[in-house]
């Protein structure tokens, strides 16, 4: 198989893997530990089985924004998020607070800062890492641009720099895997080293995920570093897509977001064919695969300039 074909299969695995992990985890969100792990999609909140949530909705919007603007434009991204707000499924507290202010006419810069203060300085949510996959596909071959775009996209909702750094770390992890150079364990170790000085708390969260026992995880907080630790633990707990996403759901808490991020990273590593065939029938699967392909086109056209 050509290198480009392999890249396209991994990018497809990443974006579809995100949607699948999200849709599998959604019915179990905040129900506690999950013993009956899903082999197929289940319906929830009156939505048909296979429906995804805000994680995938906002990732699709991010992909469409990059493709429409020819770059990651935070103004356009904020506008798209604000417009889709009434339709966002399972919107988080920070995102709700920021998007409400933008819809009232405030700039996203003002809205994020005001929301940060309103929420007692707690704006380091895991939303920043749940919608980072399209950015990793668009900029996988340009590390400085990838970091800038990831931090910028996180900043549209999250004022706390921890979320920006964690977003850059997850984007970097996915980019390394898309490049096909390495396995998940090695990519995690490489990203940890990259962030040791730049963002030591992020590096520590990565390390904790690689060494923690299951009962030491905090899957219910939605704090970005707790989620990062849960995702790393889940990635290392399983040997293929299904086992990793099941691990992310099994621990309970924010099961859709942890399923989504774990699924995106695992898919970037092993490609779309590692996702069980019946799971590949997730909502809007063909649109998601088309977007993944267009993001690869975008990344290759940038590098050709």
Residues near Mg ion (CB under 5 A) are 53-55, 90, 256
Q: Which of residues 82 and 175 has its CB atom nearest to Mg ion in the complex?
A: 82
Q: Which of residues 53 and 65 has its CB atom nearest to Mg ion in the complex?
A: 53
Q: Smallest distance from the beta carbon of 266 to Mg ion, in angstroms? A: 18
- The answer to whether 262 and 21 have CB atoms below 8 angstroms apart is yes
Q: Which of residues 263 and 271 has its CB atom nearest to Mg ion in the complex?
A: 263
CA distances from 115 to 25, 80, 132, 152, 154 (A): 28, 18, 21, 17, 14
Q: Which of residues 30 and 183 has its CB atom nearest to Mg ion in the complex?
A: 30
Q: Smallest distance from the beta carbon of 220 to Mg ion, in angstroms? A: 14
φ, ψ of residue 165 in degrees (nearest 5): -65, -40
Which residue's Cβ lies closest to Mg ion? 53
Q: Using CA atoms, how far apart are residues 297 and 137, in angstroms rounded to an integer?
A: 10
Q: Which of residues 52 and 140 has its CB atom nearest to Mg ion in the complex?
A: 52
Closest listed residue to residue 133, CA positions, set 179, 175, 161, 194: 175
Q: Smallest distance from the beta carbon of 53 to Mg ion, in angstroms? A: 3
Following CA atoms 53, 55, 58, 59 in sequence, which dihedral angle do they give, to the nearest 10 degrees? -120
Q: Smallest distance from the beta carbon of 89 to Mg ion, in angstroms? A: 7
Closest listed residue to residue 8, CA positions, set 304, 303, 266, 289: 289
Q: Smallest distance from the beta carbon of 90 to Mg ion, in angstroms? A: 4
Q: Which of residues 78 and 130 has its CB atom nearest to Mg ion in the complex?
A: 130
Q: Smallest distance from the beta carbon of 125 to Mg ion, in angstroms? A: 12
Q: Which of residues 29 and 208 has its CB atom nearest to Mg ion in the complex?
A: 29
Q: Smallest distance from the beta carbon of 120 to Mg ion, in angstroms? A: 23
φ, ψ of residue 176 in degrees (nearest 5): -60, -40
Q: Which of residues 53 and 262 has its CB atom nearest to Mg ion in the complex?
A: 53
- The answer to whether 27 and 249 have CB atoms below 8 angstroms apart is no
Q: Smallest distance from the beta carbon of 279 to Mg ion, in angstroms? A: 17
């Amino acid at each position: 198989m050509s290198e480009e074909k392999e890249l396209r299969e991994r990018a497809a695995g990443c974006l579809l893997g995100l949607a699948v992990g999200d849709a599998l985890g959604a019915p179990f969100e905040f129900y506690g530990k999950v013993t009956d792990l899903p082999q197929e999609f289940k319906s929830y909140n009156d939505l048909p089985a296979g429906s995804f949530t805000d994680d995938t909705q906002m990732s699709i919007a991010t992909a469409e924004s990059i493709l429409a603007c020819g770059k990651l434009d935070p103004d356009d991204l904020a506008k798209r998020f604000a417009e889709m707000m009434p339709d966002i499924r399972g919107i988080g507290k920070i995102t709700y607070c920021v998007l409400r202010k933008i819809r009232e006419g405030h700039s996203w810069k003002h809205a994020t800062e005001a929301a940060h203060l309103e929420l007692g300085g707690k704006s380091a949510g895991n939303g920043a890492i749940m919608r980072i996959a399209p950015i990793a596909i668009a900029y996988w071959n340009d590390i400085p641009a990838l970091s800038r775009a990831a931090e910028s996209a996180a900043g549209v909702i999250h004022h706390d720099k921890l979320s920006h750094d964690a977003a850059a770390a997850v984007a970097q992890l996915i980019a390394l895997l898309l490049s096909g150079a390495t396995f998940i364990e090695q990519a995690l170790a490489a990203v940890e080293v990259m962030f040791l000085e730049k963002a030591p708390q992020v590096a520590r969260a990565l390390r904790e995920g690689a060494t923690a026992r299951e009962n030491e995880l905090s899957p219910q907080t939605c704090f970005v570093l707790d989620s990062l630790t849960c995702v790393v633990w889940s990635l290392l707990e399983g040997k293929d897509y299904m086992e990793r996403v099941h691990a992310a759901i099994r621990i309970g808490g924010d099961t859709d977001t942890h399923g989504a991020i774990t699924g995106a990273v695992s898919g970037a590593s092993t490609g779309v064919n590692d996702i069980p065939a019946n799971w590949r029938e997730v909502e809007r699967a063909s649109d998601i695969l088309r977007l993944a392909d267009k993001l690869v086109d975008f990344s290759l056209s940038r590098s050709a300039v």
